[in-house]
Amino acid sequence: MEQIQQDGKAGFLRGCFLSLFKSVALENIVKTIIYAIIGTVVSFLISMLLRYLVGLMKGK
């Protein structure tokens, strides 16, 4: 009996995941990935710039 409940839960979760995946367009997923990459790169560059500027200020 417990096996049936676990199978039912797994089926329910798979169904929810597949319906969510179907409702979200692939274009939106790609855009989100691209924006995340751009955000990561910009954040890294800003942190390096700030580290450089703080080093200059401490040197004076």
Query: For residue 49, what pLDDT is reported?
Result: 97
Tokens for 29, please give them: 């997923």
- Give the whole-angstrom CA distance, residue 37 versus residue 14: 28
Over the stretch 24-54, which tens digit does the pLDDT of each residue have?
777 888 999 999 999 999 999 999 999 999 9
Q: Check residues 49 and 20 and name the one with the higher pLDDT.
A: 49
Place of tokens 């200020």: 57
Higher pLDDT, 56 or 15: 56
Q: Where are the domains of the chain?
A: 25-60
pTM of the model: 0.57
**Closest listed residue to residue 15, CA positions, set 27, 25, 26, 7:** 7
More confident residue, 2 or 20: 20
φ, ψ of residue 59 in degrees (nearest 5) = -70, -20
Whether 18 has a pLDDT exceeding 70, the answer reads yes
- How many C-beta neighbours within 10 Å does residue 45 have? 10
